[in-house]
Every structure is written in C-alpha cells, then in structure tokens.
Amino acid sequence: MFMDELTPVLKELTSYPVAFLGGFFSGLLHLNLSEDPIKSWLDQKTGTYTPPATNTNSKNGGPQSIAID
C-alpha cells in the first residue's frame, strides 16, 4: 500500500534525477524561481532571455491621484 503511493515519485526521480532533485530542494528551501539570483542563473543555464522590467510611466514612481466620478 505504501509503495503504491511512492511509485509515481520514484518514476519521476529515476527519469529526470537532476530536475527532480532541483525542484525538490527548491520547494524544501522555499525558493522562488522567479526572483534573482535564481532567475538569472536559470536564464543562463536554459538559454532563455527575459528583458528587464522597464518603467513605462513617464512620471516619477510616486503616488498619483485619480478622480472617481
């Protein structure tokens, strides 16, 4: 009974051991993969490029007032 529950986990572990263990430890350590420095490291390893966020607002980033009718 206990082995039936572990079978899918063991299949994933044997199929992709590096990816499985990386995901396991990132979950164990509560790492957010979309934050730096992990994001930049993953981008380098996978070859993907994500452009840096730019401020599209021409005003400064401070509080702004709005009018509600």
CB-CB contact of 44 with 38 (8 Å): no
Distance CA(28)–CA(22), nearest Å, equals: 10
Which tokens hold the place of 6?
């572990």
- What's the pTM? 0.40
Domain ranges of the chain: 2-46
Q: What is the pLDDT of residue 57?
A: 56
How many other CB atoms sit within 10 Å of the CB of residue 28? 8
**Shortest CA distance to 29 belongs to which of 41, 19, 21, 18?**
21
Q: What is the pLDDT of residue 22?
A: 79
The single-letter code of the amino acid at 38 is I
Q: What is the pLDDT of residue 63?
A: 84
DSSP 51: P
